[in-house]
Structures are given as C-alpha cells and as structure tokens.
Structure 1
Amino acid sequence: MEKHLKKYFALFALPTVLAFLTAFVIPFIFGIFLSFCKFTTVLDARWIGIRNYVRAFSDKDFLNALGFTTAFAVVAVITINLIAFLMALLLTRGKKGTNTVRTIVFMPNLIGGIVLGYIWQLILNGILNMFGATLTEDPVYGFWGLVILMNWQLIGYMMVIYIAGIQNVSNELLDAAKVDGASPLKVVRYVIMPLIRPAVTICLFLTLTHAYKLFDQNLALTAGAPAKKTAMLALDIYNTFYGRNGWEGVGQAKAVLFSIIVAVIALTQLYFTKRKEVES
C-alpha cells in the first residue's frame, strides 16, 4: 500500500499544488514586484525601486495604524488568554451545566465580524451617549471598544482549546500533587501550565494573528473616527488602496509589509509549537 501511495502521490497532489501556485504563490510574488512599481493598473507598472516603501514609512496614518494595532494586540492577547484560561479551569471541574456554559460562551465566535462590529457599536454608543460621548469622539473609546469586542468574540474559542489541553492532564498526577500538599495555585502553576504549553502557544499566536488582521470589526465599530486615529493596519491599507488611486503603489507596499508581519507571527507560532511538542 505504501509503495502505491508513493508512486501516485505526485499525481494526486498535483491539482492541489497547481491551485496553491495559481491562487497564492504567483499572485503574492507578483504583488511583491508591484510594490516596487508605480502603477494605476497592473498593465502600466513602472519600476521605481524602494520609493513606495519610503513613502509608506513617512505616512503618519500608517505609522499610527502600526502603533495602534500593536498596542491593541498586546492588550487583547493578554486579556483574551487570561480570561479564557481561567474559564477553562472553572469549566473542567465536572460541575453540572458546564457543557451548556461552554456552548453559550463559544457561540459569539460563530457570528460574522461585520455583524459583531455593528452590534457592539450600538451597545457601546448607547452606553457612551449617557455620558455625552461616542466611540469615534476619542481614540481611547475606540481602542477599548475594539478590545471588548474581540474579547467577546474569541474568549470562547480560546477557552475550548485550553479545555482540551487541561482535560489531557492526568488525574493521577493532579491527585498526587494534592496529596503532596500543593495548593490549587501551585497545582496550576507547576503541574497544569507546563503540561498545556502547546495549547498556550497556539492560543497566544492565534489571538495575535487575529488582532493584526482585524478589519471588518474595526471598519464597523470605529469608522468615521477623526484623523483616522483608530484605523488599524488592514483598514489603513484598505483606505490607501481606495484613495488617490492607491497612491500609485504605496498601498501595495503597505500590503507587503503587512503580509511580512503576519508571516513572521505565523512562522514564530509554528516554531514554538514544534519546540513545545518536542519538549513534551
């Protein structure tokens, strides 16, 4: 059977490889080329070197979006994973009704991002209006509005991953730690945490990549903020592409930089996940 699989592997893999090359690799390489060109359409591209990248890094909106996105990612990653882990600990004690609670908490992840954005825009603006403010009045309101939205959407998803990791911890090992006099905090710190490191790594980088790629929620929740102070990277690239003819290539340079950031995060996730698996 293995000989037959090896013999026909290339034949069966060929359609997938061709689709991957056509839909991803070739357009991505062509996109990198266009980032070094001045163009209004792909047919009139003219090579200009790194000028687009220089203009991108001299764009205050892009730098503000980079800083805003990074700050948002740090806060969102910490809050989402901390709350999700604590909820996973509470929902793995075998109490009655935990499966129902898990389902309810997970459900927000099934709702589309643009819908979530408009729902939370109504909720948060309704609260802020009582104090004479709106989400777009101050970048701080937009920042924490996005943090709340992303927490509400992703906590359930991350919680499920943490639950899967915690349930794989041997009950005999937990009982032995308790017999030895370990407090609940020490059991979590010295027994559970080391054994679920792959789950922690996956959750950290899933939330990190999601935070950097956030677009539709950002557009729906904080669109119209003055001076684009709450625009994140994806939204800033969108605004660049559809304003002033994409700055004739600057938008493409920003898109390439954005792709590099996401790729570095993904590769780092893969490296640490593999490393944790080897250590475990």
Structure 2
Amino acid sequence: MLASGAAALVAPRMAFAQKETIKIGVLNSLSGTTATSETTLKDTMLMLIGQQNAKDGVLGKKREAVVVDPASDWPLFAEKARELLTVDKGAVLFCCRISVSRKSVLPDIEELNGLLFHPVQYEGEESSKNVFYPGAAPNQQAIPAVDCFLEELGVEKFALLGTDYVYPRTTNNILDAYPRHDRRVPDEIYDLFLMLKEMTRRRGGDLSGGQQQLAIARAMIMRPKVLLLDEPTEGTQPNIIQEIGHVISHIKARGNVAIVLVEQHFDFAWTLADRAYVFDRGTVAISGRMEDLSVDTVREQFYI
C-alpha cells in the first residue's frame, strides 16, 4: 500500500511538469556547410534556457528546447519550422543564422501566425509582424563602417566582397549606392559656420563647448524638412549663443525648413520664434503666435 501510494503521488507531478513546459523551437544547422556558425547559436540558446529554468522558468513554467537540425538545407528549414509549430507546438522559434533560411521559413511562419526570432544581423528590406529582428541592419552596421572609412580614415576606394546569397548581395547593393550620394558639404554650410572648414578632419568627440553646436551644420547637410533643436544654448558661452541665433535666423529666412526649438533661454527663444508654447509640468500653459502674446505674461509663466 505504501509503495502504490508513493507512486500515486509521484505520477501527477511528472504529468504536471510535462504539461507546464513552454516549448522553444531551436532551428539551427548542426551539420552541413553552415554548421560551424549555427552550432554556436544553438549552444547559446540552450545555455539561456538552462539559466531561465534555474530561476523557475517563465511565469512559473519551465522552458523546453526542441532542437532540430535542418542540415544547411534551405527548403528543409521551412518543413522543420512548420513541424515545430504544428506538431511540437512550439511557442516561439529561434532560427536562421543565414538570411536565405529566414526567407525560406517566413511564408510558413506568417501562414501559421507563429513567432520567430532572427537573432543575428540581417540585410534589412524586410518587415513582418511575426518576426523579431534584434540584429543590426546595414544602416546600423555596414554604413557606419563606410562612414568611418570615408570620413575618418580617408579611404577613397574599397572592395565589396561576399558569399553569393541574399545577405551579401543586398548589403553590397546598399553600400555600392551609398557613397554615390552627394557627400560634399554645401558652401552655404561653410558660410554659416566659419570654423567648420578647418575642423573637417577633426573627430566629433574632440569638439568641445560651443563647437559642439556644429551638430546643427551636420543636420543641415542632410537637407532636412524639419530641424529639432533641443536647448542648443545650454552650457554655451554668450558669443557662441549669438552665432547660433544668427544661424537659426538665416535658416528660418530661407523658408524651406520648419524649426522646432526647445529652449529655457527666454530672450533667445522669444526673438526667434513665430509661435510659442510654454509648458508647465507637461501641460501647455500658454500658446499662440508671437504678435498675439504679451512678452511680460509669457516671461512670468516662463520663470514660474
């Protein structure tokens, strides 16, 4: 009786543990041409799942890794992804070191309304409500590297190399087009910021004090439609504040750029603005066109 009673107590606990696991599909090639890089991703996922389970899992439930090897076969990725979602009932998939494998599984993921984490860099130019893309796209990784070559290292020519598949082809196309844009600083920028020409070879982090306001020049080089200036006078010496005011006035007079100026320097903001909004604890206390506002009333509210 004691033995059977003990068995009766143990069996439900085993059934509960099996029922309450959250299955995580880990779909990475452990054999074939891409196994070297994808095996590391599988090992990382198992390590993270183990760490979470050691802390009582998620919402009190243990996570269970279902590891599948699609053997570097792109069509097989799609087949195995569908199995993980429909047969194994995976709550989410971590998959696809290579972009072509992500492209292969995407139609099935979207059809079944599954959830996919693509954990490494990718080429961009894709967006799906069923996919998380935490890795860097070219504008976050490759393009900053090109900027470093061109602007800081003075490199004028470099080669674009890559394996013949979607990620290298797409990224190389983006980079091939990128330097062809007009990267020349317009003469009017040099006219507005007289110190800029002598600083063109200086690193941005080496600028100090008011010279950091040359960030306005960098923004104007991009030919924006809207220019947002967040307290440009903060920590700046009076003569530089005056120069910034002249620059803003010049940009304003051109009439092709809307300027949003957030500023605590009252006189500076009052002389430049066409319309004012004074905030008090996140609420608009006063607003209107400058000709309709009393400078004394606004100043009083400004300093409350």
TM-score higher than 0.5: no
Q: Give the structure, 1 or 2, with the largest relative contact order (CA under 8 Å, sep 6 or more).
A: 1
TM tier, smaller: under 0.3
Give the helix-richer structure, 1 or 2.
Answer: 1
Give the strand-richer structure, 1 or 2.
Answer: 2
Larger radius of gyration: 2
